[in-house]
Amino acid sequence: MQSQDLEHQLELYSLIYDSIHNGSMVTDADGYVTHFNKPYGDFLGLDPSAQIGKHCTQVIENSRMHIVAQTGVPEINQSHLIKGQKMVVQRIPIKKDGKVVAVFGQVMFKDVRDVTKLAKKLSLLESKVELYEQELISIRSTRHTLEGIVGESDTMQTLRKEASKAAATQFPVLITGESGTGKELFAQGIHHASARRLYPFVRINCSAIPKDLLESELFGYEKGAFTGARTGGKPGKLELAKHGTVFLDEIGDLPLQMQPKLLRVIEDKEFERIGGTSVIRSDFRLIAATNQNLEEMLTDRRFRKDLFYRLNVIPLHIPPLRERREDILPLVKHFLNQTSQEAFLPEITLEHDAEEVLRSYQWPGNIRELSNVLERVLSSLEGNTIRLSDLPFYLYRSRKIASKLSALSIREVQSRAEKEAILHTLRLARYNKSKAAAMLGIHRTHLYKKIKKYGITRSSYDNLQE
């Protein structure tokens, strides 16, 4: 019975050896052939069994199997010339108790041209991987890069450099600045420039999520964790951001009771879902942003010191637009070009007086307000040039603008103010024209005529700021 088992094993080993796709040969410590598989015999036109017992130099020209047996040094992926054809082979010494007892040789490629073919395939695969990576990046939620952030001031150039350095690390980043300065643009830019760009960018607005739902949004929950919970549970934002970036916007509004829980997750990178018992690990990079003064909040004990110091490893402060006026016109031109391209409109230009007003205005709402104003202007613009009379009156009403208005007639100024008043009233009345007419103290028919005269549409008042 044991003899039959041994015969069966030997037969199986022989079948395995003959099934090796490329040719292979085994010699003993003196270089004599002990094994010679069928594919090698077919390739060389030799009878495999007839080669057993011969010295390797009698079977294979230029053979080095006996040399490897003597040196005990493997030769991997070496060139070997047989019958005028270059091959790629490997010769591996087999040792027992530190001594070479055999040498295994194998033809890896029967023709060196096979290596070239493989290299071309690898090159093609690398190109495909690069293409798929670019598609993944475009599918992810980041649309902004650091290079695409508009600004020519020294401040913005320095900020882009600092953000680029931050992208090369894994440390937390705290971005501060007034509302509308572009904090999320920098957060997305850092993510896009980092090694995590192929993974998710998950944004969490701490001020927009109700306090009682914030914990479940961050950590997720298991089935039946609370009334109204999904049947199968739900993963939290921190879990979804695995290997990616978590952007905590308005971090100053994070409830005090949530702050120690967030601190623990940042330090340990592990947490449990609400109602769960298993620990979830999530490797993510944290970027936080706020328009509040967190250092003042520390004094008032509205923000924890330990969390602040954990977040404030790499601080980036974005100054308001009024402190970097040289960025205003480049931003204006960027928005106008972007809008004209998206709407297939001709190029929009600015008159000098309009440029001066835009440059000198304080912009308390920063870039967000600037974008809003330009959208309002374009919604009712006649022609391709923005003039002073096209801008909202509030932009220049507090300035001494007599010289700037010299080209405008009293009628034009009155018309502009009248249009502003109608737009504002329509917005207050939620576009109920009867109600708006009553608020303005005019007849509804008269209001219809004014709306037609000024080309006022629903989008006009929708884009109007309070």
pLDDT tens-digit profile of 92-114? 999 999 999 999 999 876 655 66
Q: What is the pLDDT of residue 14?
A: 77
CA pair distance 148, 145, nearest whole angstrom: 5
Place 406 in a pLDDT band, splitting at 50, 70 and 90: very low
The residue extents of the domains of the chain are 13-112, 154-319, 322-408, 412-466
Least-confidence region, from 46-55, 79-88, 233-242, 334-343 = 79-88
Q: Does 18 score more than 80 pLDDT?
A: no
Q: Which residues contact 69 (CB under 8 A, 6 or more apart)?
A: 27, 28, 29, 30, 31, 93, 100, 102, 103
Q: What is the pLDDT of residue 113?
A: 60
Percentage of residues in the chain having pLDDT higher than 70: 84
Q: Which CATH superfamily is domain 13-112 in?
A: PAS domain (3.30.450.20)
Place 225 in a pLDDT band, splitting at 50, 70 and 90: low
Mean pLDDT of the 393-415 span: 60
Please tell me which of 67-71, 229-233, 442-446, 456-460 the model is most confident about, judged by mean pLDDT. 67-71
CA pair distance 183, 315, nearest whole angstrom: 12
Q: What is the pLDDT of residue 464?
A: 45
CA pair distance 380, 419, nearest whole angstrom: 11
Instruction: Confirm whether 154-319 and 412-466 share one CATH topology.
Output: no
Look over the chain and give the mean of its residue pLDDT values, rounded to a whole number.
84
Nearest residue to 178 (alpha-carbon basis) of 40, 324, 364, 30: 364
Q: What is the pLDDT of residue 326?
A: 94
Q: What is the pLDDT of residue 461?
A: 55
Identify the residue with better confidence: 56 or 432.
Answer: 56
Mean pLDDT of the 47-60 span: 93
Q: Does 308 score more than 60 pLDDT?
A: yes
Mean pLDDT of the 332-351 span: 85
CA pair distance 198, 131, nearest whole angstrom: 12
CATH for 412-466?
A: 1.10.10.60
Mean pLDDT of the 67-80 span: 90
Mean pLDDT of the 202-207 span: 92
Bridge partners, 314 (sequence order): 173
Place 293 in a pLDDT band, splitting at 50, 70 and 90: very high
Q: Does 63 score more than 80 pLDDT?
A: yes
Identify the residue with better confidence: 400 or 107.
Answer: 107
Q: Does 3 score more than 70 pLDDT?
A: no
Place 156 in a pLDDT band, splitting at 50, 70 and 90: very high
| CA dihedral over 164, 170, 176, 177, signed as positive or negative | positive
Place 402 in a pLDDT band, splitting at 50, 70 and 90: very low
Please give the CATH topology (third level) of the domain spanning 154-319.
Answer: Rossmann fold (3.40.50)
Q: Does 294 score more than 90 pLDDT?
A: yes
CATH for 322-408?
A: 1.10.8.60
Burial (CB count within 10 angstroms: exposed 0-12, middle 13-18, buried 19+), residue 423: buried
Structure-token pair, residue 137: 């990046």
Axis crossing angle, helix 154-167 with helix 183-193, rounded to the nearest 10: 40
Place 403 in a pLDDT band, splitting at 50, 70 and 90: very low
Mean pLDDT of the 52-64 span: 92
Q: What predicted TM-score, i.e. pTM, was given to this entire model? A: 0.60
CA pair distance 305, 290, nearest whole angstrom: 16
- Over residues 130-145, the pLDDT tens digits come to 666 666 655 554 568 8
CA pair distance 160, 158, nearest whole angstrom: 5
CA pair distance 78, 67, nearest whole angstrom: 14
